[in-house]
């Protein structure tokens, strides 16, 4: 934002240690999610946080990334045990150890997870790992309305079914994904599911979810165990951003997200859907509805001021309503510069404490200046 130096950690890509017994590992910041999971495959382990992109672990920690598996496995906040951080002074600290819990001192790990590079440079991460499930099944179910789909998802969460993924794809996104990814899905509001566990437990989850979605108007509930079918589905989901943007030549993507209490999710998505009906540019709703997080992707002409103003107004209405019902301006995209204006609305006077922490750790303001905090 203000010139300066950009530090590239991509060649710090060493997987230092894996402990299958303790279900943890230590990696350098440049190790990517796919690289780590490829390394773990023959040990029956995996790292579950899946933000879609093949992101670096250091970047995922810095942005408090989450993604499609968060409903079962949590976010980076729950899966980072410790960090090695270079402070603005050049001092190197470790924020914790490998113990699964500690009540010794301030929780510095959580301070740096999600700090978006404004407090220090993460160089090494100790992560929790998970055992690879014995069975993984995926399913799709279509609905005549987005309200039915969201209410079905809420019911599944409230009944504490240990589902691994619940993704909402609205009918606009289904149409775009069919064209972009070569699918032939029914163009209706759709929920995509994934189930992890033993064969018996995965089967039980499938049967319970099938009953719930049927009670909420779900149709054509289809499930499959074949890895190639699952991978094709989730690849299409991860390509959703590009699918929306591809609907318009030379367009650029504008994506926003909010996260709200699950009980408020249906009302928020319906309000957003109403806003999009009047929108002049292609747009779609998708989301990790199991934890109340949803996204809107717009395909905009970056040279068209009127379009940018229109989309900004929709984004503002979506964010302000989310905050008013106890939600957050961003569930996983981060504040950066685009949502600085909502920080005080969401956190009130706590923003002043954040500024004091920033000043104490980085008095010269050299770490990612201009991000997160109001000037």
Residues 126 and 20 in one domain: yes
Q: Which of 100, 131, 162 is the last residue of a domain?
A: 131
Residues 139 and 109 in one domain: no
Does the residue 121 lie in any domain?
A: yes
Residues 232 and 246 in one domain: no
Q: Are 348 and 309 in contact (CB under 8 A)?
A: no
pLDDT band at 9 (very low <50, low <70, confident <90, very high): very high
Q: Cα separations (Å) of 147 from 6, 56, 300, 335?
A: 44, 36, 27, 29
d(CA 59, CA 56): 5
Neighbours of 358 (CB within 10 A): 18
Q: Are 47 and 129 in contact (CB under 8 A)?
A: yes
Q: Are 125 and 61 in contact (CB under 8 A)?
A: yes
Total number of domains constituting the chain: 3
Q: Are 295 and 276 in contact (CB under 8 A)?
A: no
Please determine, for residue 205, whether its predicted confidence score (pLDDT) is greater than 80: yes
Does the residue 234 lie in any domain?
A: yes
Residues 166 and 194 in one domain: yes
d(CA 351, CA 132): 40
Please determine, for residue 281, whether its predicted confidence score (pLDDT) is greater than 80: yes
pLDDT computed for residue 367 by the predictor: 96
Does the residue 8 lie in any domain?
A: no
Does the residue 364 lie in any domain?
A: no
Residues 230 and 190 in one domain: yes
Residues 100 and 143 in one domain: no
Please determine, for residue 229, whether its predicted confidence score (pLDDT) is greater than 80: no
Neighbours of 317 (CB within 10 A): 14
Beta strand 252-259 with 293-300 is: antiparallel
Please determine, for residue 127, whether its predicted confidence score (pLDDT) is greater than 90: yes
Does the residue 303 lie in any domain?
A: yes
R_g of the chain computed on alpha carbons:
21
pLDDT computed for residue 183 by the predictor: 85
Percentage of the chain beyond pLDDT 70 is 100
The two three-digit tokens of residue 216, written as one number: 């909420």
Does the residue 124 lie in any domain?
A: yes
Please determine, for residue 287, whether its predicted confidence score (pLDDT) is greater than 90: no
pLDDT computed for residue 25 by the predictor: 98
d(CA 351, CA 374): 9
pTM of this structure: 0.91
If you average pLDDT over residues 299-324, what whole number do you get? 96
Residues 247 and 234 in one domain: no
Q: Which of 94, 111, 131 is the last residue of a domain?
A: 131
Does the residue 367 lie in any domain?
A: no
pLDDT computed for residue 374 by the predictor: 84
pLDDT computed for residue 233 by the predictor: 78
Residues 169 and 246 in one domain: no
pLDDT computed for residue 8 by the predictor: 96
If you average pLDDT over residues 195-213, what whole number do you get? 93
Task: Of 118-127, 156-165, 305-314, give the lowest mean pLDDT range.
Answer: 156-165
pLDDT computed for residue 53 by the predictor: 85
Q: Please write the tens of the pLDDT for every residue from 251-273.
A: 999 999 999 998 899 899 999 99
Instruction: CATH number of the domain at 281, please.
Output: 3.30.70.2740
Question: The domain containing residue 215 runs over which residues?
Answer: 135-239
Q: Please write the tens of the pLDDT for every residue from 173-188.
A: 999 999 998 888 889 9
Residues 19 and 125 in one domain: yes
Task: Of 232-246, 282-296, 301-315, 328-342, give the lowest mean pLDDT range.
Answer: 232-246
Residues 257 and 312 in one domain: yes
Q: Please write the tens of the pLDDT for every residue from 60-106.
A: 999 999 988 999 999 999 999 999 999 999 999 999 999 988 999 99
If you average pLDDT over residues 232-260, what whole number do you get? 90
Instruction: CATH number of the domain at 209, please.
Output: 3.30.70.2190
pLDDT computed for residue 91 by the predictor: 97
Please determine, for residue 224, whether its predicted confidence score (pLDDT) is greater than 80: no
Instruction: CATH number of the domain at 118, please.
Output: 3.30.465.10
Q: Which of 91, 112, 131 is the last residue of a domain?
A: 131
Residues 124 and 204 in one domain: no
Task: Of 155-169, 212-226, 246-260, give the lowest mean pLDDT range.
Answer: 212-226
pLDDT computed for residue 314 by the predictor: 96
Does the residue 210 lie in any domain?
A: yes
Residues 85 and 127 in one domain: yes
Q: Please write the tens of the pLDDT for every residue from 128-165.
A: 999 999 999 899 999 999 899 999 999 999 999 999 99
Helices marked H in the chain — which ranges?
33-40, 57-62, 70-73, 76-79, 108-112, 146-158, 171-181, 199-215, 227-238, 240-245, 265-277, 305-324, 343-347, 350-361
């Amino acid at each position: 934002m203000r010139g300066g130096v950009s530090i590239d950690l991509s060649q710090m890509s060493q997987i230092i240690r894996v402990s299958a017994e303790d279900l943890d590992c230590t990696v350098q910041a440049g190790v990517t999610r796919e690289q780590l999971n490829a390394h773990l495959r023959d040990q029956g382990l995996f790292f579950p946080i899946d933000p879609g992109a093949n992101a670096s672990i250091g970047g995922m920690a810095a942005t408090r990334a989450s993604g499609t598996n968060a409903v079962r496995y949590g976010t980076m906040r729950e899966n980072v045990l410790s960090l090695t951080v270079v402070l603005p002074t050049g001092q190197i600290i470790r924020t914790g150890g490998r113990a699964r819990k500690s009540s010794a001192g301030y929780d510095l790990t959580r301070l740096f997870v999600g700090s978006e590079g404004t407090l220090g440079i993460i160089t090494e991460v100790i992560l929790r790992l998970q055992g690879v499930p014995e069975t993984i099944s995926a399913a799709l179910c279509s609905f005549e309305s987005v309200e039915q789909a969201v209410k079905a998802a809420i019911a599944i969460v409230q009944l504490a079914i240990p589902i691994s993924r619940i993704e909402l794809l609205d009918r606009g996104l289904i149409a775009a994904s069919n064209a972009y990814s070569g699918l032939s899905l029914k163009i209706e509001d759709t929920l995509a599911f994934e189930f992890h566990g033993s064969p018996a437990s995965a089967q039980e989850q499938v049967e319970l979810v099938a009953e719930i979605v049927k009670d909420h108007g779900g149709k054509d509930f289809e499930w499959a165990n074949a890895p190639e079918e699952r991978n094709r589905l989730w690849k299409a989901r991860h390509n959703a951003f590009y699918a929306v943007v591809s609907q318009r030549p030379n367009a650029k993507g504008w994506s926003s997200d909010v996260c709200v209490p699950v009980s408020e999710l249906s009302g928020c998505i319906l309000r957003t859907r109403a806003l999009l009906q009047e929108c002049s540019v292609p747009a779609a709703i998708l989301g990790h509805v199991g934890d109340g997080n949803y996204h809107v992707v717009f395909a905009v002409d970056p040279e068209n001021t009127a379009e940018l103003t229109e989309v900004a107004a929709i984004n503002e209405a979506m964010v302000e309503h989310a905050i008013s019902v106890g939600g957050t301006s961003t569930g996983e995209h981060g504040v950066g510069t685009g949502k600085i204006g909502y920080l005080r609305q969401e956190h009130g006077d706590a923003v002043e404490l954040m500024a004091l922490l920033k000043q104490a750790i980085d008095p010269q303001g050299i770490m990612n200046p201009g991000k997160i905090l109001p000037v």
